[in-house]
C-alpha cells in the first residue's frame, strides 16, 4: 500500500522489509527519526549507542555475526565513527552493512557543512544517494545486495531535504531475515599489518569491480530529452533540476561512488552543453573534469555553500525567470530559544552575570551563546567543552592569568565524548569548572533516550548510569549537585567552584520540561509594583514582554506561553511577580 513518509521513515521501513536484523546509531539532525521509526515499527532490534563510533562498531559485530545491519548518524557523526569505517573497508562484511549518513547542506541544524561524499572516496566504499522517499526505501535493499555481492560496507547518504521531506512510497515484497554463519576468519577480520596489506590490494580491486557495476546498474539512469542541455546530478538536486529544466536531458546518478566513467562519457557526448548540479563540494565535477570532459557550468556558477534550489539553478543557467520576491525587511528575528521553564535558563542567567569564559558544547544549551545571554564563547564538537576548557586552563596557568574556565555540557553529550575529556582533566591536573546539565534526555534532537535515562530506544527498562559516582570514578573529588532554578544557590555554587583550585564538577539534575511534560502555573506581573526596570528580561524568556502602552513600559507575562519556573521572579527586586492562581494554560 502507498504511504506518504519521510526519507528517514522510508529507510527504516526499507530496513525492516529487506531482512534487517540489527540497527544502532546516535541521534543527530537530520538523521534521528530513522532509528526512532525502526523502533516504532517494532519488527527489528535497534538501539541508541552512546556515540557513533560505538554504533558503527556494534553494527560491524552484527554483520560479522551474520545479520544485516544498519548504522545511522548525521554527517559529523561519521567523523567520530571514521576510525572504524576506514578499517572496516578493509575487512569487508559478512552480512550486508549499511552506514546511513545524513548531510545538512544549508546548516539548518549543524555546526559545519561537510560533504559526506568525501568519505566514500576516502574509505573507497560504494555510496548511494536517493532523490526521494521511494528511492530511499529501494536503496536500502539495493544497498544490502551491493554490500554482500562486493564484500564491502556501503554508505547510504541523504540530505536534510531527503531525510525530512515526505513523499509517496510503495513498499516491495518483504524479505524474511536470514542470519548467516558466525565464522572465525583471522586474515579477514584481524587487521594486523600483514593481513591489512593484502586487504588493501583487495580494496583497490573491489573499487574497479564496483565501477563496472556502476556502469550498468539501473541506479544510474539517463533521461534523454532535449540534446541541447545535459545535466549530471543526484539526490535532491535532481528534483530541483526537473523543476527548473523539465526538458533537459539528465544523467541521474543514484550510485555516486565510484562514478560510471563510460556512462558519463556517453552522456556528455550526446548533449551540446554539459552542466553538473551538485550541492556543496565539487565531487562529481572534479572527477569528470579529470576524465578530460568539458563542463560548461558547475561550481563556476553554482554555490559551494548552502542548498541549491530551482531559482538558483535558473539563474546559473542564464534564465530570465520572474524576479524572486524579497522578504519584508526589518522584522524582529525569531531564533530558537530555551523553552519556557527550561533549567538551562537559570544557569545561563548567572553565567552571563558572572562574565566568565564558557567553553560550550553541542546541545540545547548552545543557545546560551545567543543574546541577551551571550554566555558561551566556544563550541566546536561533541565533548570539546571539557577538553578545550582543560587546554585553556593550562595556558592560563602558563600565562599567569588567574581565571578558571567553565565548561557546560549535557548528559547525552557527556556520555558521547565528554567523559574521556574529564578523565584527562583529572589525570593531567587540570583546573576547570565543569557543569553537567543532566536533564536525562538528548534534548536538541527531540528527546531521545541515553544511558542515563533508564530506558532503551525500544522502551525497555535499562540500567541507569549514575552521574555522581561516574564523575568520581573518572578522578574528580569535588562533585556537587546543583539546582539551576535557584539563582542564588547557582551563583554561590559557581563562585565556589571557581574559587576552589583543581577540577570541580557541578551537576544539575532537573529533568527536561519538554521531554517529561512538566507543567506549572503561569506567573503574573503586578502592574502597580513593576517599575519597568527590565531586570527580569535578562532571563531571555519568550513568555515575557513589555506592555505596549503607558508612560513607562512595564513587563507582562504571556499566560499562553509561561510555564511558571519562577526564574524571572527571582530577578525582580520589587516583588512584582507572582504565580497565577489556577491551572497551567500554556498552549505551546
Partner 1 sequence: MQIFNIVIAGVGGQGVLMASKVLAESALASGMDVKQNEVHGMAQRGGSVISFVRIGDQVNSPVVMPGTADLLISFEPLEALRYIHYLKPGGRLVYNKVSINPSTVAAGLAVYPQDVEQQIAAACTNAQGIEALSIAREAGNGKAVNMVMVGTVMKDLPLKEEVITEVVKQLSQGKGVEVNLKALAGGAAA
- Binding residues for partner 1, per CB under 8 A? 2-4, 29-30, 108-109, 132, 160-161, 164-168, 236, 239-240, 242-243, 309-311, 322, 324-328, 331-337, 339-340, 364, 370-372, 443-446, 514, 534, 537-538, 540-546, 548, 558, 560-561, 585, 587-588
| 164 and 192 Cβ atoms separated by less than 8 Å | no
Q: To the nearest whole angstrom, how small is the minimum distance from the Cβ of residue 181 to partner 1? A: 41
Query: How many Å separate Cα 340 from the centre of its chain?
Result: 24
Shortest spacing between CB 410 and partner 1, in angstroms: 13
DSSP element (H, E) containing 33:
helix 33-41
Nearer to partner 1, 320 or 587 (CB): 587
Continuous H helices in 359-499: 384-399, 411-413, 419-427, 467-473, 487-499
Nearer CB in complex with partner 1: 56/514: 514
Supply 302's cell numbers: 553554482
The minimum distance between CB 455 and partner 1, in angstroms, equals 20
How near is the Cβ of 588 to partner 1 at its closest, in Å?
Answer: 4
User: Of the two residues 109 and 287, which places its CB atom closer to partner 1 in the complex?
Assistant: 109
CB of 316 to partner 1, least distance (A): 15
Shortest CB 359 distance to partner 1, Å: 21
Least spacing, CB of residue 446 vs partner 1, in Å:
8
Assess contact for 454 and 525: CB atoms under 8 A: no
Write phi, then psi, for 200 (nearest 5 degrees).
-60, -40
Q: Which is nearer to partner 1, 155 or 312 (CB)?
A: 312
Least separation in angstroms between CB 334 and partner 1: 4
- The answer to whether 515 and 443 have CB atoms below 8 angstroms apart is yes
Q: Could you tell me if 153 and 187 are in contact, meaning their C-beta atoms sit under 8 angstroms apart?
A: no
20 or 167: whose CB is closer to partner 1?
Answer: 167
Residue closer to partner 1 (CB basis): 113 or 148: 113
Question: CB of residue 543 vs partner 1: minimum separation in angstroms?
Answer: 7
Closer of 246 and 318 to partner 1 (Cβ): 246
Q: Between vectors from CA 185 to CA 179 and to CA 189, what angle results, nearest 5°? A: 90
Centre a 10 Å sphere on the Cβ of residue 429 and count the other Cβ atoms it contains: 12
Distant-in-sequence, close-in-space partners of 426: CB < 8 Å, separation ≥ 6:
474, 475, 476, 503
Q: Is there a contact between 543 and 558 (Cβ–Cβ < 8 Å)?
A: yes
Q: Which is nearer to partner 1, 310 or 498 (CB)?
A: 310
C-beta separation of 231 from 275 below 8 A: yes
Q: Which is nearer to partner 1, 213 or 338 (CB)?
A: 338
| Burial per residue of 267-280, b for 16 or more beta-carbon CB atoms within 10 angstroms, e otherwise | bbeebeebbbbbbb
CA distance 196 to 191: 5
Task: Please name the residues in contact with 505: beta carbons below 8 A apart, sequence gap of 6 or more.
Answer: 422, 433, 434, 435, 436, 471, 476, 478, 479, 480
Those residues whose C-beta lies under 8 Å from the C-beta of residue 326, and which sit 6 or more positions away, are none
Amino acid at each position: 500500500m502507498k504511504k506518504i513518509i519521510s526519507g528517514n521513515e522510508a529507510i527504516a521501513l526499507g530496513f525492516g522489509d529487506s531482512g534487517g536484523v540489527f540497527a544502532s546509531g546516535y541521534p543527530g539532525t537530520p538523521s534521528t527519526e530513522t532509528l526512532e521509526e525502526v523502533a516504532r515499527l517494532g519488527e527489528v532490534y535497534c538501539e541508541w549507542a552512546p556515540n557513533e563510533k560505538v554504533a558503527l562498531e556494534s553494527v560491524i559485530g552484527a554483520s560479522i555475526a551474520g545479520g544485516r545491519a544498519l548504522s545511522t548518524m548525521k554527517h559529523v557523526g561519521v567523523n567520530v565513527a571514521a576510525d572504524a569505517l576506514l578499517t572496516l573497508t578493509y575487512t569487508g562484511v559478512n552480512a550486508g552493512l549499511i552506514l546511513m549518513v545524513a548531510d545538512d547542506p544549508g546548516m539548518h541544524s549543524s555546526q559545519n557543512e561537510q560533504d559526506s561524499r568525501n568519505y566514500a572516496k576516502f574509505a573507497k566504499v560504494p555510496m548511494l544517494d536517493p532523490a526521494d522517499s521511494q528511492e530511499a526505501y529501494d536503496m536500502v535493499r539495493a544497498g544490502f545486495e551491493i554490500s554482500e555481492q562486493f564484500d564491502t560496507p556501503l554508505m547510504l547518504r541523504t540530505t536534510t531535504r531527503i531525510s525530512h521531506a515526505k513523499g509517496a512510497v510503495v513498499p516491495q515484497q518483504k524479505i524474511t531475515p536470514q542470519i548467516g554463519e558466525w565464522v572465525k576468519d583471522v586474515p579477514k577480520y584481524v587487521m594486523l599489518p600483514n593481513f591489512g596489506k593484502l586487504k588493501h590490494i583487495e580494496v583497490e580491486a573491489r573499487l574497479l569491480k564496483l565501477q563496472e557495476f556502476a556502469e550498468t546498474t539501473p541506479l544510474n539512469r539517463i533521461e534523454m530529452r532535449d540534446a541541447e542541455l545535459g545535466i549530471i546530478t543526484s539526490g535532491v538536486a535532481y528534483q530541483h533540476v526537473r523543476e527548473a529544466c523539465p526538458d533537459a536531458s539528465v544523467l541521474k546518478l543514484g550510485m555516486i561512488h565510484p562514478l560510471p566513467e563510460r556512462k558519463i562519457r556517453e552522456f556528455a557526448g550526446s548533449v551540446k552543453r554539459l552542466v553538473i548540479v551538485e550541492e556543496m563540494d565539487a565531487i562529481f565535477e572534479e572527477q569528470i573534469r579529470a576524465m578530460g570532459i568539458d563542463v560548461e557550468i558547475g561550481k563556476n556558477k553554482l554555490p559551494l555553500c548552502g542548498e541549491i534550489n530551482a531559482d538558483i539553478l535558473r539563474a546559473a543557467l542564464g534564465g530570465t525567470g520572474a524576479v524572486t520576491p524579497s522578504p519584508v525587511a526589518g522584522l524582529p528575528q525569531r531564533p530558537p530559544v530555551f523553552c519556557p521553564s527550561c533549567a538551562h535558563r537559570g544557569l545561563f542567567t548567572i553565567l552571563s552575570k558572572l562574565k566568565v569564559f564558557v567553553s560550550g558544547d553541542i546541545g540545547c544549551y548552545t543557545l546560551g551563546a545567543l543574546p541577551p545571554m551571550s554566555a558561551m564563547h566556544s563550541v566546536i564538537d561533541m565533548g570539546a567543552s571539557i577538553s578545550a576548557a582543560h587546554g585553556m586552563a593550562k595556558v592560563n596557568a602558563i600565562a599567569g592569568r588567574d581565571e578558571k574556565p567553565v565548561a557546560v555540557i549535557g548528559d547525552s553529550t557527556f556520555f558521547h565524548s565528554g567523559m574521556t575529556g574529564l578523565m584527562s582533566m583529572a589525570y593531567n591536573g587540570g583546573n576547570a569548572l565543569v557543569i553537567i546539565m543532566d536533564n536525562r534526555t538528548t534534548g536538541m534532537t527531540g528527546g531521545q533516550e541515553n544511558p542515563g535515562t533508564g530506558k532503551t530506544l525500544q522502551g525497555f527498562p535499562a540500567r541507569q548510569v549514575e552521574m555522581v559516582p561516574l564523575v568520581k570514578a573518572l578522578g574528580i573529588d569535588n562533585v556537587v549537585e546543583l539546582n539551576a532554578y535557584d539563582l542564588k544557590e547557582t551563583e554561590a555554587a559557581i563562585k565556589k567552584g571557581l574559587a576552589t583550585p583543581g577540577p570541580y564538577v557541578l551537576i544539575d539534575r532537573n529533568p527536561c520540561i519538554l521531554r517529561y511534560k512538566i507543567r506549572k502555573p503561569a506567573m503574573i506581573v503586578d502592574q502597580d509594583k513593576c517599575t519597568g526596570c527590565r531586570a527580569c528580561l535578562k532571563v531571555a524568556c519568550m513568555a515575557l514582554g513589555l506592555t505596549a502602552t503607558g508612560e513607562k513600559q512595564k513587563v507582562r507575562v504571556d499566560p499562553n506561553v509561561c510555564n511558571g519556573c519562577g526564574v524571572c521572579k527571582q530577578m525582580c527586586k520589587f516583588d512584582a511577580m507572582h504565580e497565577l492562581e489556577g491551572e497551567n494554560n500554556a498552549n505551546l
